Amino acid sequence: MVADEKRSFNTDITDGNELNEIEKIEKILNSDEKVLLVARESRLMPGGSALTPNTVIATDKRVIIRDPYMLGLKSELIDIPYDVITSVKLQKGILTSTILFEAPTLVNKSKLGLMDENISGEDDHGAVIEALPKDKAEELLEIIRRRMKHNGTGEATSSIDTISIADEIEKLSRLKQKGILSESEFQKMKQQLSEKM
């Protein structure tokens, strides 16, 4: 339990920025609910948002996605209990990772598709969480896998895909065009990608 008298939520997290993110959703947390992970989308990488990146908070009972809008003055909360998630997928990129999951009782299947590779990040039901730091995405995948409803075989369905090298080079190229990466940084990262092949 956090020792600060202003904070009434349960977590082992000590990072100040992450604790501030938990405070923003503190009112919807149950008294017996423990926050396990806080992950924020990148402000710079494709799929993230420069002004209002989404925050993903995983507790021992559910995943909560905080989606800020109006320059962060307001936010929408998407609450997904683990027992309604039927599959989860991690797509690893060179810079960031994407989590895709299916929760049929919460998500409009016709809009979502069936977790195809071509799901776009435009879905507003929380099926796609893009531009997460790689270590946080892997940790989130493990948390979801351990807690989600098991399918008929008694095993949770999950998979890890690696995004193609060409897709990553395209992302790097866009970052270079926007001035986020210099030519030398672009060439170095492109070389690293080529070496992984």
Q: What is the mean pLDDT of residues 181-187?
A: 86
pLDDT digits (tens, 9 = 90+) for 131-180: 788 889 999 999 998 887 554 444 455 555 555 667 777 778 888 888 87
CA atoms within a 13 Å half-sphere pointing along the CA-CB vector of 34: 7
- pLDDT score for 148: 79
Residue 28 DSSP symbol? G
pLDDT digits (tens, 9 = 90+) for 94-128: 778 888 878 776 644 333 332 333 333 434 444 67
DSSP lists the bridge partners of residue 80 as 63
Backbone phi, psi, residue 64, to 5°: -120, 125
- pLDDT score for 177: 87
Backbone phi, psi, residue 81, to 5°: -65, 145
What are 143's two structure tokens?
Answer: 């948390």
Contact 93, 46 (CB under 8 A): no
- Quickly state the pLDDT bin for 37 (edges 50, 70, 90): very high
Mean pLDDT of the chain: 74
What domains does the chain contain, in order, with CATH numbers?
10-163 (2.30.29), 165-197 (no CATH)
- Look up tokens 């909360």; give the residue: 77
